[in-house]
Amino acid sequence: MKDTLVIVHELYPELLDKLKQTFDVVHFVRLGSDEDRAAFKEAMTRAVAFIGSNVAFDKALLEQSPNLKVIASVSVGVDNYDVAAIHDRGIVLTNTPDVLTEATADTGFLLLMMTARRASEMNRMVLDGRWNVSPGRDQFGVDLKGKTLGIVGMGRIGQAVASRGHFGFGMKVIYQNRSAKPEADKTLGARQVDLETLFTEADFICVTVPLSPETEGLIGRDLLSLTKPKAIFVNIARGKVVREQELIECLRDGTLYYAGLDVFEKEPLPKDSPLMTMDNVVCLPHIGSATHETRGAMCDLAAENTLNVLDGKAPVTPV
């Protein structure tokens, strides 16, 4: 009898077929309905392995998964997982760092450029048939070249965003991080500063710090009110790193000029969120790593981690 593998993610067909040769696969693209959630719970009672994302692995779910040996997350962020409880149970948790760094940094830069040039507003103006005269000063954006880019969380993705800014746009890089990053200081001419200095000096701020008890609600009105008159704030990390209601109020009352957001406190963004109707915000639906190549590489890595653990070998990317 084959072992049960539960997958909650879209997989490309070749990989799914390959896994089906080894496992009894129970596959959900997402847990979109009560029926899916009930079937998922039932399958987890048999599962030895899980591959997926957007499933909160808490103590209750772990208790309902007595045979589980490996959780292979198709994400680098592991804020959805009770890591201590998983490790206490002797379950191996893996994630997908590195393979998504460049695609996610591209998304960060996409938001920096879209907000700098007010691309959503301009696009809406054209599509609404309001492009009657050449845009004037009221519609102008701001340059990136030569400006100061502030990175909150100077890890793999933060450094990849900084590198785009430094080498592509001649930006000065400052960053806040719990440890020093001497390599980035050298190659990017970057300077480590505290959060207050970062929010005061940066023209563009990009958040790439993981969500953890230390970073939950890290950014709110206190820091946003330090920003320059035309400062731009981008979050590609996790919505809960920012106090979203305070962000909304700062955007509304002019404390903050503009924001680009790939992540939100609640996802999908609720239809009644004020962010839906604000001109000075660009919203993306959490697509940091969503390219064919990158998502393929993430799924391959998650599958390799799973097979390694079940074969008694070390996973490639343990958490």
Ligand X SMILES: NC(=O)C1=CN([C@@H]2O[C@H](COP(=O)(O)OP(=O)(O)OC[C@H]3O[C@@H](n4cnc5c(N)ncnc54)[C@H](OP(=O)(O)O)[C@@H]3O)[C@@H](O)[C@H]2O)C=CC1
Binding-site ranges for ligand X (CB under 6 A): 76-77, 97, 100-101, 104, 153-158, 177-179, 208-212, 214-215, 236-238, 262-263, 286, 288-289
| Tokens linked to 256 | 């903050």
| Identified catalytic residue from 118, 238, 243, 295 | 238
249 is catalytic: no
Hey, how many other C-beta atoms are within 10 angstroms of the C-beta on 275?
Answer: 17
Q: Cα(260)–Cα(212) distance, rounded to whole angstroms?
A: 22
- The entry of ligand X, ligand LL5AMS7Z, none near residue 156 (CB within 5 to 8 angstroms by kind) is ligand X
Between residues 24 and 265, which has the closer beta carbon with respect to ligand X?
265
Q: Give the H/E segment covering residue 76.
A: none
- 288 is a contact residue toward ligand LL5AMS7Z (CB under 6 A): yes
Complete DSSP assignment for 108-124: HHHHHHHHHTTHHHHHH
Contact (Cβ atoms closer than 8 angstroms) between residue 117 and residue 139: no
Q: Cα(302)–Cα(293) distance, rounded to whole angstroms?
A: 14
Between residues 289 and 305, which has the closer beta carbon with respect to ligand LL5AMS7Z?
289
178 is catalytic: no
- 294 is a contact residue toward ligand LL5AMS7Z (CB under 6 A): no
Query: How near is the Cβ of 232 to ligand X at its closest, in Å?
Result: 17
Residue where the block lists tokens 């697509």: 287
Between residues 178 and 271, which has the closer beta carbon with respect to ligand X?
178
Which amino acid makes up residue 313? Answer: K
Between residues 8 and 76, which has the closer beta carbon with respect to ligand LL5AMS7Z?
76
Catalytic site positions: 238, 267, 286
